Structure 1
Amino acid sequence: NHAGLVVFDEPGQQAADPVNLTSLFQVSAKGRPDRHQILIATSEKEHAIKAGLGDRPYNLISFNGYILKPLN
């Protein structure tokens, strides 16, 4: 009984090798997209993410600047 949700928060922050990040993206994108959702929050460059995912199905949402900001 798994909720089908996995969240990775900035895997590159752990000084992961680019090959390992690509493997993380590839393995995470396998399986049944209708049954699970993988969220990866990263500051990796968009081209690196796209290259890492290859032809796997994904939705990429990019933000400029910080997503979380202090309230004024």
Structure 2
Amino acid sequence: LLHHSDRGSQYTSKEYVEQLKSYGMELSMSRRGNCYDNACIESWHSILKKELIYCNPRFKNPEEAYTAIYQYIEFYY
């Protein structure tokens, strides 16, 4: 599992990095000083939230969320 973030202090703290590692997650960060590294995925997340997440009630469990997002990506988007 890959965790991508910017270089904010909350994401670079020793405690945060250690917690990610304890979950078996690999840390990925934007390049220093390049605010455009995340632009594409942030745009995609914005669309996903507006068209699927914000207009639906809360998901009852992770499986329901997974199914809704999968169907959105594979059949609608």
Q: TM-score under structure 1 normalisation?
A: 0.30
The structure showing larger relative contact order (alpha-carbon pairs under 8 Å, at least 6 residues apart) is 1
Answer 1 or 2: which has greater helix percent: 2
Q: TM-score under structure 2 normalisation?
A: 0.29
